[in-house]
Chains A and B, each alone.
Chain A
């Protein structure tokens, strides 16, 4: 007998949004078990991440899977108060002013929400004031993305503005995107992350204290972190 949670995880891996939403509609989102649902989402995204790491998957497959997760969460949260954001961690993410790339950001937002993190998605082309406001508003993890070397310079502007507002140090700052590299991040005092997968793993293991993705074999994702 098939298990809806295994099937949903499989739908996520295949990026099959029609199958996933249809399956959820038939089952009823209100009947989902919170823990098992979150676990199947995490398992699905883990497998997607693994396939991306090994070169089996590329950006379209990652985006398709992220879309499935987004659709599942939309259906899931529509019938209950938003329980996933129970880890206690509040994060903000945005792509810097002058840059509109957001593939990695989208994946991170969906994945972290799957881990129970409250994520404030600032969007793309975000000016420094909005990053600062997010930290002032309680975000303790600030993720800044810059895709081009032209826009990478603006990351420094954001950190300067945080410092000017007396907020530097209140939030952990991570910088990612194609234009980021360890040297640049070290020079500005931010953490560097190679890709969305690395950010999610860092949050999962270091900030939430959960087992690494590869170490989890069954339903161990705790709503509440």
Chain B
């Protein structure tokens, strides 16, 4: 049973040989393995695809997240981006919406012919059919934050109308990208809404400003692809609403209590997480990491609703042997009784 089959069957509630194991290994970490500088990989679809595929081969994770930062959020919004040799991640260095008149600038950029499409197609050519391929879409709330900068968060208090207009302007961009990814043949879409976290905004603001737009963009494609909703750090107070977006999978970060989240959401909702990518995977003692992965595997085996993962992207400086430890522990502890119906191996 390969990773793609395993994840799809698991999400369908069908028997599998083991629970899926898929730490978030995306463009922030992948260049480590390829040996090419991060800034070169972010600028080159071929190099980024190579780096992601090399990681998939090296670590064997079931889900490959196809990073698309230069093609997705940034170029669509036209925000200035800096990517120099000392940096491992592209950085927004400014915003593009200062007042309502600027909202007209937010126009969907064609996916066809974009760096994002080129990266995705190259990854699919090498891994499609073998791994579960997740495309990435920046959700409207996070997109509005990128477009307006921190002013967007103040708008939630001081100019709610402008905040909603900004979100409404971002929705078509997110929908267009999601539909383009579906058309390009991804298995699932990861909707990133990191800023909508209860570590940043109140649950009340989440309900008013983030949730409705998440729900709309997810509903646009949820019948055509698996959908994953990611919110950084603390999402505990909003997990019930997250489930109401219709997302098939909720990716929870380390501060969240997954057992409690499961208890408060319908049985059909899956979760993905939630090893702390920094404190446990990158910086933690190996024995602590192994114990944590075992604990998550135990929950996954018992509930069959949890994909064993990190709660956020694997940091660039993560030791390679820690990732190997994560995977080997997950494979061993995530094994399920019997090979499962229709298992190929």
A-side interface residues toward B, CB under 8 Å? Answer: 15-18, 57-61, 63-64, 66-67, 97-100, 102-103, 106, 124-125, 148-151, 153-154, 179
Contacts and interface: CB of A to CB of B under 8 A. Distances in A.
A165 B200 CA distance: 38
Given A15-B158, A106-B150, A150 B88 contact: yes
Interface string B186-206: 000000000000101110010
Given A58-B205, A125-B93, 4 more contacts: A64-B156, A100-B91, A100-B92, A150-B89
Interface of B: 28, 82, 84, 86-89, 91-93, 150, 153-154, 156-158, 198, 200-202, 205, 278, 282, 315-317
Contacts, number: 70
Contact of B202 (A58, A150, A154): A58
4 smallest A-B Cβ distances: which pairs?
Answer: A64-B157, A63-B154, A60-B153, A60-B156
Contacts of A58: 198, 200-202, 205
Contacts of B202: 57-58, 60-61
B142 to A, nearest CB: 14
A67 B282 contact: no
A64 B315 contact: no
Nearest to A103: B150
Given A59-B200, A59-B201, A125-B82, A148 B317 contact: no
B211 to A, nearest CB: 15
Contacts of B315: 149-150
Nearest to B95: A100
A98 B82 CA distance: 8
**Secondary structure class of chain B's binding surface, majority of residues:** loop
Contacts of A179: 278
Given A58-B202, A59-B200, A60-B205, A99 B154 contact: no
Given A64-B154, A149-B278, A149-B282, A125 B201 contact: no
10 contacts: A58-B200, A58-B201, A60-B156, A64-B156, A67-B154, A67-B158, A97-B87, A98-B86, A99-B91, A150-B317
Contacts of A124: 93
A148 B88 CA distance: 11
Contacts of A60: 153-154, 156-157, 201-202, 205
Nearest to B155: A60
Nearest to B316: A150
B93 A61 contact: no
Nearest to A183: B283
Contact of B317 (A97, A98, A149): A149
A102 to B, nearest CB: 7
- The winner among A15, A57, A60, A100 for most chain B CB atoms within 10 A is A60
Nearest to B152: A60
Nearest to A157: B86
A61 B157 contact: yes
B60 to A, nearest CB: 25
